[in-house]
Structure 1
Amino acid sequence: MVVCVVMLPLAALIWTAAKGSGDLWPHLVRNVVPHALTETVLLSLGVGVLAGVIGTGTAWLVAVCRFPGRGIFEWALLLPLAIPTYIQAFVYVDAVHPLGPIPTLIRSLLGMTSPRDLWLPEVRNLPGCIVLLGLVLYPYVYLAARAAFLVQTASVLDAARTLGVGAGEAFFRIALPLARPAIVVGVTLALMETVNDVGASEFLGVQTLTLSIYSTWLNRSSLPGAAQIALFMLAIMFALVLVERWGRRHLNASAIGARSHSPVRRALGRGQAGLAITACLIPVLLGFVLPAGHLVHTAWLRWQFHGIPENIWQEAANTALLAGLGTLTAVGGGLVIAVALRTNALRSGLVPRLASLGYAVPGTVLAVGLLVPLAAFDNAVSALSAQLTGVPTGLLLSGSGVALVLAYVIRFLAIPVGGLEAGFGRISGTLDMAARSLGEKPGGVVRRIHLPLLRPALGTAALLVFVDCMKELPATLMLRPLNFETLASHVYGEAARGTYEDGALAALLIVLVGLAPVILLARLSRPRQD
């Protein structure tokens, strides 16, 4: 049942795309796809390179080097994950505007009086979008690369040193090749988030395939055209999934034998330590401290002069309601699949893999795929009600937020499925056999043994899903009910109107909630022996 729900929008997407006229796709190929594909490829390549360099470099520094502040940077480098890409763009467009706070501060320090006296690079272009997305998404690479560097046996690097290999040569010739599978996984995750983005690319003037789906559907009123672009984009996403699986196939290759002892961090000299601190500090400052500080300052000014926006708490409640429903449904579905695998009700590992496909499907693609079957259901029920009672029911599912909750579930079901599978892996099968030998039924084993032991995994999965639902923008924009605003849609609307200060508080609330899983990741990723 869960797999059918996940596959439903994909099947509907194919059916909708096939309804387009014969000349629709050639028109899209000539006028829409080439430019959007070029922008998407260039954006992905740029973000992949930037995130890979920052994430791998900083991971190497905190994993194998010793310098002042290393322990702080170890968790601080994860902080940009708390800021969604569209909020990062929202902040920088406002902050580096010629009359914004950053140029104003620099001009005051340099004694300049006119905005024309100071030149700063423009962020509303493709290079600006690459830099801003790279500053938010590099932690995916950092987490994977740092874990790979930590499990590399110290004896391998020690042997290299005894042969006269320097630190730089050891990194490029030994550590980097061994960590390459993990780095590929991290870069692929960053690319998936890049392709899924719609807010940042729109704010910064980059016409990606995701944005083309959004504009083709809503601005050009062509659902079949949007579905055709979505299928093309889906093929790209599945290619990224295959790359990620290919990179994961040798993920354990970085652990050559059993680690004989913890890696001995190399103490850096004063000059090298200064460079290491700078290399770790810049991503944290530009990726988190500056945007978060700007949001706090702007929200404070907005509150001081105009008070708190009157609808902000209702929007926060709407966000919590939808994200909570999505979280409960997704975690429940993931638990059903994990329990079925544990009890051998499912004998194939294909079901959880299919159930996790939604994570690779961008929110815009899901929205297009869900609209058709849900609208067809609503229309059929409304027509039947009108025939029997004379009163049509209207949009029961697509107009009530059910479509958006369903999109959240499909998009983030992979998180509880993977987390609970791993949680069950840490529960010995002998506990199940002992309980059954004492006469306990399968349901009682799950209720009295599995669920208490799975409580940490359930809590972690619920937290991650809730925050992801709260931050999700493309599906929220396209599937939310009319006149129903969330924090994400509020930020998007204010940024689209150019009234950035009115969206600062909503953006700040999203960032503050987003800090929770970052703190959790920081705690879980700390090595036992440091």
Structure 2
Amino acid sequence: MIRYVLPAALRDTLVLLVGVGVLTTLIGTTTAWIVTAYDFPGRRFLEWGLLLPLAVPTYIIAYAYLDIMHPVGSVQGVLRYLLGYSSPREFRLPDIRSMGGCILLLGLVLYPYVYLTTRSMFLTQAASLVEVSRTLGSRRRDVFWRVALPLARPAIAVGVSLALMETLNDIGASEFLGVKTLTVSVYTTWISRSDMPGAAQISLAMLFLVVGLVLIERHARRNQRYTAAAQRPRAMGTFRLTGYRAAGAFAVCIVPVALGFVVPAVYLGVEAYKRYRFAGLSERLLGEVVNTVTVATAATAIVLLCGLVVAYAARTYPGRATATAARISTLGYAIPGTVLALGLLMPIGALDRMLATGAERIFGVSIGLLLLGSGTAIVLAYSARFMAIATGGIEAGFSRISPSLDHAARMLGQTSSGVFRKVHLPLSKPALVSAGLLAFVDCMKELPATLLLRPLNFETLATHLYGEAARGTYEEASIAALLIVVIGILPVAVLSRVGRGDRPEVVGDRGQAAAGREVSNAGE
């Protein structure tokens, strides 16, 4: 394992992480600054449109582009016709089945993590900081590099960390594109070679890698501190762009949206329509929809219930113990699905055997593998992995409820449970709905844990797509892929509301000069 498997898998994983980290940082930070600091035609669409690639899981964009960019496909065929070539032997584009292709495609669907967090930071930065820097002679480009970007570093770090966690969790895109990462190695070692100890060894290497990424990021900013003004900061205004500058800003932002969402979505729509006209909707597909919705709904209900308990305990009984427990409960999101599935299989299997032995001895019946055979193991894996989404969303909702409401309710004779039912629960319904929706869609899209823990003859939309793409029958999986993308748009609609509020008036050169004079006078 150390000589033949780990070195190559670790090298490919590190190269992929570095490439995806750089690409998501460039795209996410650049687009976030453009739509926050400038005003141009189409900016309002791009504010939420840049989140659309989140609706496309990594394995679906790989599946789509493998067919779109095939050497004998329509894209390369049109290019050869325009250039005067007659066969792929004379002219063909670089193979997308490569490390570079994998980095590009993963970066196109994961950059919204950086865009979302960084844009939120840019929106909350005080306008006075930008105006003072402009008064002191800095150009807008210098404001970005010397003021906005350093202050947004924590948000960028969070977004990149989320993108890298998703990259580590990916199995479909990496395998389809020929990149043998640690995650792919765990799957092939366990399933193809039936070597569970070897898969466990690779999983431990992945855990060390995850811990190393977190420690490196914290060490890099160990001597840096970030504070906010005591008063509520005034959001900075936008600068109006016209002419070729406006067109350039729109082009820079629309390219990742087109490549990361529009192209694969249109391709899936066309292929799904062709498949529907040819064979209609199969009963197997309807069963897979039921399986997907069932396990995702069960896991969402569990994480919402547990998230409520954790968030309410942290609010009602603040302290080191509850804060530590809340942090531990959300660690599952940092663990790749393959590692989580491997870690759960042994204890769940042991519990299954114990239940089966007890039932046979006491009742004289054989219940088989109750947990693994019923899909309960998948629900437990989803719950452990996506607990962070529910807890974080509910905590954010609770943070908007003033403690004075708690005190007033207690003075009126309400118990802790009464305050929760009559105050916290009604006021936090929007946060509960958002957290539940995000958790549901993430459960629906989860592939690695589902592949490894599903019962026999149990397929979800994600596993159906993976199986058809692995066999090369792309047209059979188009409807399932389109359904996943359509449902994946729901959390994008929720996330698009983040940071949308009242914005200050758009200013031009004269407005900037006037603002600068006001700041200068106030300073004197």
The 8 Å contact of residues 181 and 251 in structure 1, kept in 2 or not, is answered as: no
Residues 125 and 233 in structure 2, CA contact (< 8 A), matched pair in contact too: no
Deviation (angstroms), 1:385? 3.2
CA shift in 2, pair 1:333/1:243, >3 Å: farther
Which residue is equivalent to 2:93? 120
| CA deviation map 1:210-263 (0-9, x unaligned) | 111111111111112111211121121123344566789899837566566442
Confirm or deny: 8 A CA contact 2:237 2:503 kept in the other structure.
no
User: Residue in 2 aligned with 1:384?
Assistant: 358
Partner of 1:403: 377
Q: 1:255 to 1:340 in 2, by over 3 A?
A: closer
| CA 76–345 in structure 1, closer or farther in 2 if over 3 Å, else same | closer
Verify: 1:192 aligned to 2:155, yes or no: no
Q: What is the TM-score normalised by the length of structure 2? A: 0.91
Q: Is the 8 A contact 1:79 1:284 kept in 2?
A: yes
- Corresponding residue number in structure 2 for 1:267: 240
Q: Quote the Cα distance in structure 1 between the aligned partners of 2:322 and 2:287.
A: 44
Residue in 2 that maps onto 1:516 = 490
Between the aligned partners of 2:83 and 2:159, the Cα distance in structure 1 is: 41
Give the aligned CA root-mean-square deviation in angstroms. 2.2
Moved more, 469-478 or 105-114: 105-114
Deviates more, 1:249-258 or 1:189-198: 249-258
Aligned ranges 1:72-471 → 2 under 5 Å: 72-107=45-80, 113-242=86-215, 253=226, 255=228, 258=231, 261-344=234-317, 348-471=322-445
Distance 1:249 1:322, change over 3 A: farther
Report the Cα offset of residue 145 of structure 1.
1.5
Structure 1 Cα separation of the partners of residues 168 and 348 of structure 2: 25
Find the aligned partners of 1:416 and 1:247 in 2 and give their Cα distance: 29
Question: Are the structure 2 counterparts of residues 387 and 242 from structure 1 closer, same or farther at C-alpha, using a change threshold of 3 Å?
Answer: same
Query: 8 Å contact 2:124–2:233 — kept in the other structure?
Result: no
Partner of 2:516: none
Q: Is the 8 A contact 1:182 1:247 kept in 2?
A: no
Q: Distance in 2 between matches of 1:66 and 1:480?
A: 49
Q: 1:490 aligns with which of 459, 464, 471?
A: 464
Q: Which moves more between the two structures, 476-485 or 224-233?
A: 224-233
Tell me by how many angstroms 1:307 deviates.
2.0
Give the letter aligned to residue 103 of structure 2: I
Distance 2:232 2:92 in 1: 52
Question: Displacement of 1:35 after TM fit?
Answer: 0.4
**CA deviation string 1:65-85 (max 9, x = no partner):** 122211111111110000000
- CA gap of 1:248–1:428, structure 2 versus 1, over 3 A, is farther
Further displaced range: 434-443 or 221-230: 434-443
Letter aligned with residue 490 of structure 2: A
Paired AA for residue 410 in structure 2:
R
Identify the residue that residue 21 of structure 1 maps to in structure 2: none
Q: Distance in 2 between matches of 1:404 and 1:248?
A: 37
Separation in 2 of the partners of 1:154 and 1:389? 72
How many residues align structurally?
Answer: 503
Matches of 1:32 and 1:79, distance apart in 2: 36
390-399 or 359-368, which moves further after superposition? 390-399
**Is 1:60 the counterpart of 2:40 in the alignment?**
no
SS state at 1:413 partner = helix
Gap change, CA 1:248 and 1:523, over 3 Å in 2: farther
Unaligned 5+ segments in structure 2 are 505-524
Residues 269-295 of structure 1, C-alpha deviation per residue, up to 9 Å, x if partnerless? 423222212211110110000011100
Q: 1:181·1:247 contact (CA, 8 Å) conserved in 2?
A: no
| Cα distance in 2, alignment partners of residues 43 and 402 from structure 1 | 33
With over 3 angstroms needed to count, the CA separation of the structure-2 counterparts of 1:433 and 1:251, relative to structure 1, is: farther
Q: Please state if 1:481 is matched with 2:476.
A: no
Q: Which amino acid aligns with 1:179?
A: A
Q: Distance in 2 between matches of 1:183 and 1:199?
A: 26
For 1:376 and 1:244, the matched residues in 2 are separated by 38
TM-score under structure 1 normalisation?
0.90
| SS of 1:164 mapped into structure 2 | coil
2:514 maps to which residue? none
Deviation at 1:465, TM superposition (A): 0.4
Q: Residues 439 and 164 from structure 1, CA distance in 2 versus in 1: closer, same or farther, beyond 3 angstroms?
A: closer
Bigger drift between 269-278 and 283-292 goes to 269-278
Deviation at 1:58, TM superposition (A): 0.8
Using the TM superposition, give the Cα deviation of residue 144 of structure 1 relative to its aligned residue in structure 2, in angstroms.
Answer: 1.5
Cα deviation digits, residues 182-210 of structure 1 (max 9, x gap): 11111111111101111100000000011
Unaligned runs of 5+ in 1: 1-27
Question: For residues 250 and 92 of structure 1, do their structure 2 counterparts lie closer, same or farther at Cα, with a shift above 3 Å needed?
Answer: farther
In the alignment, the residues of structure 2 paired with residue 485 and residue 115 of structure 1 have an alpha-carbon distance, to the nearest angstrom, of: 37
Change (3 A) 1:330 1:250: farther
CA contact (8 A) 1:238 1:360 kept: no
Distance 1:256 1:429 in 2: 22
What amino acid does structure 1 have at the position aligned with 2:16? Answer: L
Q: Which amino acid aligns with 2:330?
A: S
- Measured after TM superposition, the shift of residue 506 of structure 1 is 0.4
**Local SS of the residue matching 1:165:** coil
Distance 1:482 1:326, change over 3 A: same
The answer as to whether partners of 1:182 and 1:248 remain within 8 angstroms in 2 is no
- What do the CA deviations read for 1:474-509 (whole angstroms, capped 9, x no partner)? 001001111011000011001001011110110111
Q: 1:302 to 1:106 in 2, by over 3 A?
A: farther
- Asked if 1 retains the 8 angstrom alpha-carbon contact of 2:371 and 2:377, the reply is yes
Change beyond 3 A, Cα 1:254–1:316: farther
Judged with a 3 Å threshold, the aligned counterparts in structure 2 of structure 1 residues 85 and 76 are, in CA distance, closer, same or farther, namely: same
Residue 195 of structure 1 contacts residue 210 of structure 1 at CA under 8 Å; is this kept in 2?
A: yes
More deviation, 351-360/297-306:
297-306
**For 2:450 and 2:412, how far apart are their aligned partners in 1?**
49
Instruction: Judge conservation of contact 1:182–1:251 (CA < 8 Å) in 2.
Output: no
Shift of 1:154: 2.3
CA distance in 2, matches of 1:251, 1:510: 41
| 249-258 or 386-395, larger mean C-alpha shift | 249-258
